[in-house]
């Protein structure tokens, strides 16, 4: 579990560097003329050679909370659909989001690690994992604006 947490921290740090750096890697290394033309093409077309690494968008979504109990999940409540063990900061997402994509809500960032029930798969319905049943029930059902940070764009 510690290894997964370290990997996620390293990934988030890399994303932050890429977001803030705005070309830091391009200037740090010597590039061939071909590579420079490639970077110029992306900067001209997309505004930045990093533009295709991730995309942020705000959407209206239904938010609920769940706990890792057999009554609310499947027969393996401690393992999420991504294969990771449950942890606070994970969120169940529709199938149109990839594992590892991020959801920002109320100043917190959640990682897409689990899937919603099939009847909610095509909707903008997200389920925040909580360990405390009372807190999950108090969270209730909300319709809120959330920010999606989606990686591995194709």
> What are the pLDDT digits (tens) for 96-145?
889 999 999 999 999 999 988 777 767 899 999 999 999 999 999 999 99
Asked if residue 77 has pLDDT above 70, the reply is yes
d(CA 11, CA 14): 5
Strands (E), 1-122: 54-66, 90-93, 102-105, 108-115
Same domain, yes or no: 64 and 128: yes
- Is 26 strand, coil or helix? helix
CB 149 within 8 A of CB 51: no
Asked if residue 24 has pLDDT above 50, the reply is no
Same domain, yes or no: 36 and 60: no
Asked if residue 18 has pLDDT above 60, the reply is no
The residues facing 108 across adjacent strands are: 105
For the record, the structure tokens of 80 come out as 């999420």
Same domain, yes or no: 90 and 140: yes
pLDDT value of position 50: 52
Asked if residue 54 has pLDDT above 70, the reply is yes
Strands 102-105 and 125-129: unpaired
Specify the CATH number for the domain of residue 64: 2.40.40.10
**Structure-token match 């959330």, residue found:** 146
Quickly count: other Cβ atoms within 10 Å of residue 153's Cβ: 10
Asked if residue 93 has pLDDT above 80, the reply is yes
Same domain, yes or no: 83 and 139: yes
Asked if residue 48 has pLDDT above 80, the reply is no
**Structure-token match 């942890």, residue found:** 87
Same domain, yes or no: 70 and 113: yes
Range of the domain at 32: 2-46
| pTM exceeds 0.75 for this model | no
- Is 143 strand, coil or helix? strand
Average pLDDT, the chain: 77
**Domains contained in the chain, number:** 2
Q: Give the DSSP H/E element, type plus range, for residue 15.
A: helix 2-21
Asked if residue 29 has pLDDT above 60, the reply is no
Same domain, yes or no: 69 and 140: yes
pLDDT value of position 60: 95
Quickly count: other Cβ atoms within 10 Å of residue 86's Cβ: 18
CA-nearest of 113, 133, 3 to 66 is 133
Same domain, yes or no: 91 and 135: yes
Same domain, yes or no: 134 and 81: yes
Same domain, yes or no: 76 and 143: yes
């Amino acid at each position: 579990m510690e290894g997964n947490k370290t990997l996620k921290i390293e990934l988030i740090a890399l994303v932050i560097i890429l977001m803030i750096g705005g070309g830091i890697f391009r200037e740090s290394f010597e590039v061939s003329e071909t590579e420079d033309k490639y970077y110029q093409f992306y900067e001209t077309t997309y505004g930045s050679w990093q533009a295709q690494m991730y995309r942020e968008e705000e959407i209206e979504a239904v938010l609920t909370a769940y706990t890792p109990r057999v009554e609310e999940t499947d027969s393996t409540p401690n393992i999420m659909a991504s294969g990771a063990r449950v942890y606070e900061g994970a969120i169940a997402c529709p199938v149109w989001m990839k594992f590892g994509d991020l959801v920002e809500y109320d100043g917190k960032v959640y990682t897409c690690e689990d899937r919603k029930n099939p009847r909610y798969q095509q909707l903008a319905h997200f389920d925040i994992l909580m360990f405390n049943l009372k807190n999950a029930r108090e969270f209730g059902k909300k319709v809120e604006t959330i920010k999606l940070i989606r990686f591995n764009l194709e």
